[in-house]
């Protein structure tokens, strides 16, 4: 014999009201990651270049969530190959740089708001001041992915898909990696002069082995992402595979020094960039170090 359970209408109404009341207490909006008050951008800003003589990357940002911040994660790892994270060659003299730091709710003065002005120690160090580096350690120069994520007490987390996680690429240049010098006076006249060269005075430098030059179209809706590659030119053979290009091209003009003006003229490359375009130089040496430099219009 089948048995049926009947609930009276008053009981169902009480149950529904209780569920609604509980749901109203839960916030579904993720934390907001913003620049500090008075600043236009978060630090490090999009596509920051860390120069060869710089060993610090200051962090400047704020996080706000009305329901309460549970934790904030700051992380950086290698982005040499786009997003495949594989490598064709390995150099024993260098280390891939990594950074990971978590700020817990218990560390916050205000449970709903955090600002880097509260923590003077929030600086990324590229020398022995970093826990993972010794005095004699050398970072492999190149592009590194950087991100800030945050979670609130209701479990809402910032995401890449919704573009609420702050993420970009940091280009770390080092004195032993390929060097590039561009004359800014010529740029103002619509010309480009300069050189790409091996820093032979540094004992850890090595021959230039690969050059990728491309023009990309920036997306104003996605300023934190690389743009669409409109044209590209490749010389030499790369140590790192990359999802957006071939790994080898024409023979390099030189493994020691390359004159930029001569290179561009030999390929009939136009330096007449549109307002939303940038020219990018990606240079690798035999040890796998990468130097990235770009010219914005």
Name the burial class of residue 245, with classes exposed (0-12), middle (13-18) and buried (19+) by CB atoms within 10 angstroms of its CB.
middle
pLDDT score of 271: 77
β-pair partners for 131: none
Tell me which of 151, 172, 193 is where a domain ends. Answer: 172
232 band by pLDDT with thresholds 50, 70 and 90? very high
Residue 260 structural domain: 179-296
CB 204 within 8 A of CB 178: no
Instruction: List the single range of 112-121, 158-167, 233-242, 248-257 with lowest mean pLDDT.
Output: 112-121
User: Which of 172, 194, 220 delimits the end of a domain?
Assistant: 172
What is the rounded CA–CA span in Å between residue 60 and residue 62?
Answer: 7
Same domain, 159 and 262: no
Q: How high is the pLDDT of residue 92?
A: 63
Closest CA to 89 of 201, 226, 238: 238
Sign of CA dihedral 33, 39, 44, 46: positive
Q: Quick one: residue 181, left, alpha or beta (phi over 0 = left, psi -120 to 50 = alpha)?
A: beta
In a domain, 20, yes or no: no
Let me know: does 80 contact 123? Beta carbons within 8 Å.
no
Residue 159 lies in a domain: yes
Are residue 251 and residue 154 in the same domain, yes or no? no
Q: What is the pLDDT of residues 91-143, one digit of tens each?
A: 568 999 999 999 999 999 999 999 998 665 689 999 999 988 998 899 999 99
**Based on the domain organization, do 214 and 265 belong to the same domain?**
yes
One domain for residues 87 and 190: no
The per-residue pLDDT for range 8-42, each reduced to its tens digit, is 545 544 445 554 454 455 566 999 999 999 999 99
């Amino acid at each position: 014999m089948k048995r049926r359970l009947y609930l009276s209408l008053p009981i169902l109404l009480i149950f529904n009201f209780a569920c609604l009341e509980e749901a109203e207490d839960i916030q579904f909006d993720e934390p907001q990651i913003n620049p500090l008050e008075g600043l236009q951008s978060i630090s490090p800003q999009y596509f920051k270049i860390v120069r060869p003589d710089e060993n610090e990357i200051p962090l400047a940002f704020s996080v706000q969530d009305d329901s309460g911040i549970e934790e904030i994660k700051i992380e950086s790892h290698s982005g040499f190959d786009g997003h495949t994270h594989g490598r064709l060659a390995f150099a024993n003299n260098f280390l891939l740089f990594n950074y990971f730091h978590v700020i817990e709710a218990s560390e916050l003065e205000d449970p709903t708001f955090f600002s880097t002005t509260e923590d003077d120690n929030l600086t990324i160090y590229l020398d022995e001041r970093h826990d993972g580096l010794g005095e004699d350690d050398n970072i492999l120069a190149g592009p590194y992915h950087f991100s800030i994520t945050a979670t609130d007490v209701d479990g809402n987390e910032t995401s890449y898909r919704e573009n609420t996680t702050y993420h970009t690429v940091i280009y770390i240049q080092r004195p032993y990696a390929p060097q590039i010098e561009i004359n800014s006076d010529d740029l103002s006249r619509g010309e480009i002069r300069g050189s790409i060269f091996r820093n032979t005075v540094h004992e850890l430098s090595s021959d230039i082995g690969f050059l990728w030059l491309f023009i990309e179209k920036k997306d104003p809706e996605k300023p934190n992402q690389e743009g669409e590659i409109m044209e590209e030119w490749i010389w030499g053979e790369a140590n790192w595979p990359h999802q957006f290009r071939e790994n080898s091209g024409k023979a390099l003009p030189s493994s020691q020094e390359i004159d930029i003006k001569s290179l561009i003229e030999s390929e009939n490359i136009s330096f007449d960039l549109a307002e939303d375009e940038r020219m990018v130089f990606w240079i690798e040496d035999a040890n796998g170090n990468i130097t990235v430099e770009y010219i914005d219009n």
